[in-house]
């Protein structure tokens, strides 16, 4: 199984975040290094429009058969379209025969190889169409509200006055791991009736999008404890 690491050059929230130095090495290196430790991943493919990102990714062990075209690198480009482009080109032009693949975003540097391998094992054992990493929501989603432009509350859910203990736990995707059957992606979907969640702890679930996220990851990594 191959792993795709998508890393476009443009980033509005934190410019250059994919290769921003995080405790001594580019942030993208953490994802590539953990992927290369996996007992299930044969190759790590960098998907980028940036020559600078490509060079750094290759330095840390990724392969780069081609750069991503410009139309798949803009703010409005869909990740799913890029996966289809990448897999189709690898299969048709480079003699790959990819049916299943992993996507590992470089903005999840706290993800470990055992997370990757357990997600892949879940995918295989369940004969799944997809496995996507999730983490537990800290606050009940029933507490969430929209806020209008003049600062008033607007309901998202039907209001119910429940104690926290009465509310069912909810989970959200943390962006760290996606394992896909390619046939599902070709249908333009991430989920089917045969999709499963791989649950990750909150301290490995930070998705770096802002400078605050980046600094929080630095803080966690300096005091990282597997226990």
Tell me if 211 is assigned to some domain.
yes
Q: What is the CATH number of the domain that holds 94?
A: 3.90.550.10
Domains of the chain: total: 1
* Residue 108 contacts residue 31 (beta carbons within 8 Å): yes
pLDDT for position 10: 75
pLDDT for position 161: 65
pLDDT for position 74: 84
**Residue 207 and residue 42: Cα distance in Å, rounded?**
25
Tell me if 162 is assigned to some domain.
no
**74-105: pLDDT as tens digits:** 888 899 999 999 999 999 999 999 999 999 99
pTM tops 0.75: yes
Tell me if 19 is assigned to some domain.
yes
**Alpha carbon 32 to its chain's center:** 13
Tell me if 142 is assigned to some domain.
no
Residue with tokens 């357990």: 118
Residues of the chain with pLDDT under 50: 227
pLDDT for position 227: 44
Tell me if 44 is assigned to some domain.
yes
Residue 40 Cα distances to 114, 120, 174, 198, 211, angstroms = 11, 8, 22, 16, 33
Residue with tokens 């649950």: 199
Residue 9 Cα distances to 49, 55, 57, 72, 170, angstroms = 6, 12, 13, 11, 33
Residue with tokens 């990819």: 98
Tell me if 160 is assigned to some domain.
no
**26-37: pLDDT as tens digits:** 999 999 999 999
Q: Which domain holds residue 35?
A: 2-137+171-222
Tell me if 165 is assigned to some domain.
no
* Residue 47 contacts residue 4 (beta carbons within 8 Å): yes
**Residue 150 and residue 227: Cα distance in Å, rounded?**
46
Tell me if 227 is assigned to some domain.
no
CB neighbours of residue 205 within 10 Å:
21
């Amino acid at each position: 199984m191959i792993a795709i690491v998508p890393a476009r050059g443009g980033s509005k929230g934190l410019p250059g975040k994919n290769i921003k130095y995080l405790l001594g090495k580019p942030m993208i290196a953490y994802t590539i290094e953990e992927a290369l430790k996996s007992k299930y991943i044969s190759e790590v493919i960098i998907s980028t429009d940036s020559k600078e990102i490509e060079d750094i990714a290759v330095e840390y062990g990724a392969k780069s058969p081609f750069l991503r075209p410009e139309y798949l690198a803009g703010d409005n480009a869909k990740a799913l379209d890029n996966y289809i482009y990448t897999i189709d080109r690898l299969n048709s032009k480079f003699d790959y025969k990819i049916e299943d693949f992993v996507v590992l975003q470089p903005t999840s540097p706290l993800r470990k190889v055992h997370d990757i391998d357990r997600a892949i094992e879940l995918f295989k054992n369940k004969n799944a169409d997809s496995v996507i990493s999730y983490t537990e929501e800290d606050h009940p989603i029933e507490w969430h509200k929209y806020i209008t432009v003049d600062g008033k509350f607007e309901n998202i859910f039907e209001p119910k006055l429940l104690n926290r203990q009465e509310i069912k736990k909810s989970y959200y995707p943390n962006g760290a791991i996606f394992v896909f059957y390619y046939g599902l992606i070709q249908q333009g979907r991430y989920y089917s009736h045969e999709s499963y969640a791989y649950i990750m702890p909150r301290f490995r679930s930070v998705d770096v999008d802002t400078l605050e996220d980046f600094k929080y990851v630095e803080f966690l990594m300096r005091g990282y404890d597997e226990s």
